Structure 1
Amino acid sequence: MTAPRILVAGETLVDFLPERVGPLTEVESFDRRSGGAPANVAVALARLGHTPWFWTRVGDDPFGEFLTATLDEEGLPPRFVERDPDAQTTLAFVTHDADADRSFSFYRDGTADTRMEPGRVPDETLESVESVVCGGVTLAAGRSRDATLDLLARAQDHDCTVWFDPNYRPELWPDDDFAAVVGDALADVDVLKATEEELDLLGLSGDSPEALAEAALDEGPHTVLMTRGSEGSVAIAAPEAPWDAERAEHPGYEVDPVDATGAGDAFLAGSVAATADGETELTAVLAYANAVAAVATTAAGAMAALPSGTDVGAFRNSAS
């Protein structure tokens, strides 16, 4: 196998998807699926033809066994997939409303993905990759906060392009830690993928979504990719960013959504994959990322629904 050019880092967990829409109190049975935003990004990249390194940590328990087997089936190299003998694997119970939007109930107190250790990815690996992709959940608690911040800083030292998704989950963040911790992390981020809500929660000043994105550029990133659900996405970039324009948008694609879980992860993976393919036209990056995300909403399960490059190509041809 050719050595990966991308490193993804963060949590892998088990999503329990409900049999029906409605609140958790009314759901009687669930379907077990592999999940975790960085895990979804890593698998999506593999399916899109850019198999990455994936640094994660799961419990040495049956759920951890299930997850590591899934990652292996997806062709992800096991080098940085860690098993924790003293902690359990994180679980997340998902609920859906009538529009396929979801909410989560996490079981993540001292679990394996909160116990990642700084320095586990060696410098020689960072020297060999072009991009590092991280999410915000591992910043929320435990040693994984230090491990994630350490990785972001060292990735910058090795001139990697650093991609970051705050992936805000209110259940996981105490008090006002989100703005402070993620705000500090942005100093080592090149491309920030975020929603309007997340930009607002960071305490940025701006009287419009695009003004918030422009304010985020002052915190470190050279590009902000702002996702807007069914309305597509907008990109705002600094003059020094490696694109053909400083602003772009794409309206997205019309689909009949089944499950929106993982759509943002699919979008991020599509953005990274397009860039890895040499795409520098900002509108084209958004179009490809939106297509990956759109296809990912048409089946249940964040990871199971992730499309291949062939799937994305067929979808775009049918939508044109």
Structure 2
Amino acid sequence: MAQVNFLQDRALDAIVLGRAGVDLYAREANTDIADITGFDKYVGGSAANIAVAINKLGAKVGFISCVADDSFGRYVQGYLEKQGINLDGMMIDSSGSRTSVAFTEMKPSDCDVLIYRNNASDLMLKTEQIDPEYIKKSKTLIVTGTALSASPSREATLLAMQYARSVGTVVVLDVDYRPKTWRTDVDASIYYGIAANLSDIVIGNREEFDMMETVVAPGNTDDGQTAQRFLTGNSQIVIIKAGELGSRVYCKDGHQFEQGIYRVEAKKPFGSGDSFAGALIWTLTHGGTLEQGVSNGSAAAAINVSGTSCTEAMPTKEELESFIARFEQASR
């Protein structure tokens, strides 16, 4: 594998930085928002999803974020604490910001998701709230890109990544690009470029890499060229996801491979990327190969989209291994 060294003398396997909020999932499947009669409440948000994914597989996980000083904020905190996730990096904001809320349809495709992020609490995270000693306790720091979309969270996120690099904590960037949270793709590409250069591993889909190449290579669709562009800095591994086409993995040492998907009946399109990242990082921090990590990530993604939530549909180690074994048995 490319030169990514996970230090083993750390109390935490991973710390995830970014958005934690409330997800309200439609109770009726294949129903438009206008006709839905009720929603089920879960903790969500890309960073929270990844943290839960790694935690459910049996790893020790910490979290850096900010929630509002209100009942939704307390709900998010309580759920994560109950899962056993370390919240030493969780901040509470009393300025009037609000914990992010998402309303979703439950459809396998053409699925509408309404996210309410006006004055979102997770974007209130400040540089003075980033503790280098906390980051030093972890093998990895996983940053979800929405945290870069506004100040003061943007500066806090970049500072956390710099701290991680200085103490040997592996930095992972999950692009998690939400166009509506940015003024333009050019603005986004500037800050994502800075973050990618601070990262050892960069994970995104083709559309997200298109955004990151808005200035330097507009119109490029060649995954190999994209990977080489992002492997010139600190990045050792670039993973480009392509939905039903699987994913392509590129390493700085020249190694590259492709991974297909585990085909299932999907109930929703969201949550797969977070589950993928969680299983990948869990595998790598526990001594697995990159190939094993990407395969586990693809399987975890399939399990998640066949469920009816994000956090609660993240597989345990036993569920993941059983799922993969069934697929291997069926393919013989």
Q: Tell me whether the two structures share a fold, i.e. TM-score over 0.5.
A: yes
Look up the SS of the partner of 1:73 in the other structure: helix
Residue of structure 1 equivalent to 2:326: 318
Gaps of 5+ in 2: 1-9
Residues 127/190 of structure 1: CA separation in 2 closer, same or farther (3 Å cut): same
Q: Write the deviation string for residues 67-87 of structure 1: whole angstroms up to 9, x where unpaired.
A: 111101211123222222222
Residue of structure 2 equivalent to 1:297: 305
Q: Distance in 2 between matches of 1:255 and 1:114?
A: 35
Q: Distance in 2 between matches of 1:315 and 1:279?
A: 18
Residue of structure 1 equivalent to 2:226: 212
Residue of structure 2 equivalent to 1:145: 154
Residue of structure 2 equivalent to 1:188: 198
Matches within 5 A, 1:85-100: 85-86=94-95, 87-97=97-107, 99-100=108-109
Please point out which of 133, 142, 165 is paired with 2:174: 165
Residue of structure 2 equivalent to 1:271: 280
Q: Distance in 2 between matches of 1:165 and 1:224?
A: 10
Look up the SS of the partner of 2:192 in the other structure: helix
User: In the alignment, is the contact (CA less than 8 A) between 1:199 and 1:213 conserved in 2?
Assistant: no
Q: Which amino acid aligns with 2:145?
A: G
Look up the SS of the partner of 2:302 in the other structure: helix
Please point out which of 233, 236, 250 is paired with 2:247: 233
What's the CA shift for 1:101?
5.5
Instruction: Tell me which moved more, 206-215 or 52-61.
Output: 206-215
Q: Distance in 2 between matches of 1:22 and 1:317?
A: 34
Residue of structure 1 equivalent to 2:121: 112
Q: Which amino acid aligns with 2:135?
A: L
Look up the SS of the partner of 2:261 in the other structure: coil
Q: Which amino acid aligns with 1:262?
A: G
Identity, in percent, stands at 25
User: In the alignment, is the contact (CA less than 8 A) between 2:102 and 2:116 conserved in 1?
Assistant: yes
Q: Which amino acid aligns with 1:177?
A: D
Residue of structure 2 equivalent to 1:199: 209
Residue of structure 1 equivalent to 2:18: 10
1:47 aligns with 2:56: yes
1:130 aligns with 2:139: yes
What's the CA shift for 1:22?
5.4
Q: Which amino acid aligns with 2:14?
A: I
| Alignment TM-score, normalising by the size of structure 1 | 0.91
Structure 1 consecutive aligned stretches of length 4 or more whose deviation exceeds 6 Å: none
User: In the alignment, is the contact (CA less than 8 A) between 2:275 and 2:314 conserved in 1?
Assistant: yes
What's the CA shift for 1:16?
1.8
Q: Distance in 2 between matches of 1:278 and 1:184?
A: 29
What's the CA shift for 1:219?
4.9
Q: Which amino acid aligns with 2:260?
A: P
Residues 285/149 of structure 1: CA separation in 2 closer, same or farther (3 Å cut): same
| Alignment TM-score, normalising by the size of structure 2 | 0.88
Look up the SS of the partner of 1:106 in the other structure: strand
Please point out which of 292, 296, 317 is paired with 1:309: 317
